[in-house]
């Protein structure tokens, strides 16, 4: 079984909800910064139940696997970068 690494999951949550710092992310989850830091550095197991509860409107495949979905900020950013590259390539 593949180990789930918490740091990318937490970064996707920050991006989706517009959280600009780990302090804001910790407040979003209602945990202290030390607990969040432990999750990020795999010293404690991520509280999956809490993450799912707080991120009810996120697609779980996107949340845990990083698969972009329609309506996600990541997909919108990817499309914007692609559009910008296409504009640069046009004469």
* 56 class by beta-carbon count within 10 Å (0-12 exposed, 13-18 middle, 19+ buried): exposed
State how far Cα 45 lies from the chain centre.
Answer: 17
Q: Is the pTM of this model over 0.75?
A: no
Q: Return the structure tokens found at 3.
A: 């180990």
77 or 28, greater pLDDT: 28
Compute the distance between CA of residue 37 and CA of residue 45 in angstroms, rounded to an integer: 11
6-89 classified as CATH 1.10.260: yes
- The pLDDT, as a whole number, for residue 1 is 54
Q: Return the structure tokens found at 14.
A: 């920050």
Other CB atoms within a 10 A radius of the CB of residue 60 amount to 13
The mean pLDDT of 59-73, rounded to a whole number, is: 78
With contact defined as beta carbons under 8 Å apart, do 75 and 69 qualify? yes
Compute the distance between CA of residue 76 and CA of residue 17 in angstroms, rounded to an integer: 14
């Amino acid at each position: 079984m593949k180990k789930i690494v918490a740091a990318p999951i937490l970064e996707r949550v920050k991006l989706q909800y517009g959280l600009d710092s780990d302090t804001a992310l910790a407040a979003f989850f209602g945990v202290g910064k030390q607990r969040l830091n432990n999750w990020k550095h795999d010293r404690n197991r991520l509280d999956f139940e809490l993450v799912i509860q707080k991120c009810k409107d996120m697609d779980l495949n996107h949340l845990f696997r990083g698969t972009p979905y329609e309506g996600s900020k990541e997909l919108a950013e990817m499309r914007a970068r692609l559009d910008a590259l296409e504009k640069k390539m046009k004469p």
